[in-house]
Amino acid sequence: MASHRKPRTHILTSPGSRRTAAGLTTAALASVTLLSQTANAAPTSPKPSIEDVKQKVDGLYQQAEVATQKYNAAKEKADSQQRTVNRLLDEAAKRAEKMNQSRRELGTFASAQYQTGGMNPTAQLMLAKDPQQFVDRNHLMERLTGRQKQTVTAYEQEAASAARQRAEATRSLESLQQSQESLKESKQSVQAKLAEARQLLSRLTAQEKARLAELERQKEQEAQRKAAELARQQAQQQRQQPSGGGSSTGSGSSGSSSSSKAAEALAFARAQIGKPYVWGATGPSSYDCSGLTQAAYRAAGVDLPRTTWDQVNAGTRVSTSDLQPGDLVFFFSDISHVGMYIGNGQMIHAPHPGASVRVESIYYMPIYGSVRLS
């Protein structure tokens, strides 16, 4: 009986077959590699234009100014709270001395009572060698008892006041710690924004830096054109005023005093031209924007708040067309920058890190509004 065998599997072993298999394997590997590289490759984004870089840097400077004003506000609050804490500690030390004095008086009374032995008045009279001596001693003890009551009352009042003062000092210390934490966060925010701006600028080539400088020049030219137009309008308004009509600052001694203080503040601000911008600085060697205006008006005897957010509420609002030398001009919708108007559409201000106090058109930045200090 014939046996059935399974058919054998024939393997291609000819040279042509081997070359074909090798070619297919190589192609497959190449496809896998290509797909892998495509999947892992990060999409390349186009390099930002110089216009985009400028817009980004300007935005970072503005954000840094907002953070600077937050820092200034937090520092002012922290300084005030530190003074409060110091005052409370001084008062607590004085109150503790009063309490110690009350304790010493109470100790004196206790000693006097101990010397009498706690005997009743009848027994003291019987044992006394001289009745007059008893009367004198009894009268003294009555006086001591009255003073003792006063001392006890005073001690209780001092103790209650001390407890309230300790609670107030505790709250002030907690508030101070919160302000110091806010101060730290604002400082870190400023530093981060400025560092990012520096990194963007450091990556620019010489050609890109030249293009950036050209954009700045064009922006300044447009700002100066608008300033010249404002100066022309203001000069025309001045010519149209009737003689002796006075100025918008008011008439009489009040107006003269206001103009005098504005002139003093302007003289101070002019003397600071060329000094560097340093965020959080109030002089005398460097300033931020609101630090400069505050210092200038302080020199004229006017107490101006520290931040732009408070300075904008420190005077009477005036329109841009009615600006006069000494008026404060505020910028951006967040009121993060301020300069001092000097006339002809120009101002003195501390611009931003890397720049110095200088004269510039008020149209270099978007105007929020202006105030006149009276």
| Nearest-angstrom CA–CA distance, 349 and 266 | 11
| Nearest-angstrom CA–CA distance, 209 and 211 | 5
Which residue type is seen at 294?
Q
pLDDT at residue 20, as a whole number: 45
**pTM listed for this prediction:** 0.67
| Contact in structure between 12 and 24 (CB atoms under 8 Å) | no
pLDDT tens sequence across 162-182: 777 777 778 878 888 888 888
For strand 367-372 and strand 337-343, is the pairing parallel, antiparallel, or unpaired?
A: unpaired
pLDDT at residue 279, as a whole number: 93
pLDDT at residue 155, as a whole number: 66
Q: Which residue positions in the chain have pLDDT lower than 50? A: 1-7, 9-39, 41, 123, 125-127, 245-254
Nearest to 355 by CA among 145, 197, 206: 197
| Nearest-angstrom CA–CA distance, 121 and 98 | 33
Q: What length does the chain have?
A: 374
pLDDT at residue 34, as a whole number: 41
pLDDT at residue 18, as a whole number: 47
pLDDT tens sequence across 37-52: 444 545 555 777 888 8
Which residue type is seen at 20?
T
pLDDT at residue 113, as a whole number: 57
pLDDT at residue 98, as a whole number: 72
pLDDT at residue 241, as a whole number: 77
